Amino acid sequence: MCRIFAGQDPERYELETRRMRLNGQSTSIRLEKSFWGILDEIADGEAMTTPAFVSKLHGEVLELHGEPKNFTALLRCTCLVHRENPVEAASQIAAE
């Protein structure tokens, strides 16, 4: 059973650090390459760059909940929401 998980290409879970600005603040975000790929896909679907999408998401989270305790975890969960409910996520974005 675990072969499908254990046998995956290690490059998928290799960490990648990207530098970007979140609401004017320069920062680095470190995520697994697979998650960056999904964030790139989401941003592309919104006709945005990935840094612009991540910054917009950060701003909206600040507005709704204040500073997130673990922003990289929020990014990973964003990827899960996108994969679990792609139609619902797209319709929510379009409504805004």
pLDDT score of 6 more than 70: yes
Task: With H, G, I as helix, E, B as strand and everything else as coil, classify residue 90.
Answer: helix
Q: What is the pLDDT of residue 85?
A: 85
Q: Percentage of the chain surpassing pLDDT 70?
A: 89
Residue 58 lies inside a defined structural domain of this protein: yes
Angle at 86 between CA 80 and CA 13, to 5 degrees: 35
Residue 52 lies inside a defined structural domain of this protein: yes
Alpha-carbon span 68 to 58, nearest angstrom: 8
Return the closest-CA partner of residue 51 out of 88, 24, 32, 76: 24
CATH number at residue 30: 1.10.3990.20
For residue 70, the enclosing domain spans: 10-95
Residue 63 lies inside a defined structural domain of this protein: yes
Number of separate domains in the chain: 1
Residue 4 lies inside a defined structural domain of this protein: no
Residue 3 lies inside a defined structural domain of this protein: no
Q: What is the pLDDT of residue 4?
A: 84
pLDDT digits (tens, 9 = 90+) for 18-60: 999 988 899 999 999 999 999 999 999 999 999 999 999 999 9
Q: Look at 84 and 1; give whichever has higher pLDDT.
A: 84
Residue 74 lies inside a defined structural domain of this protein: yes
DSSP code at position 66:
S
Residue 2 lies inside a defined structural domain of this protein: no
Report residue 95 as tokens: 């409504």
pTM to 2 decimal places: 0.86
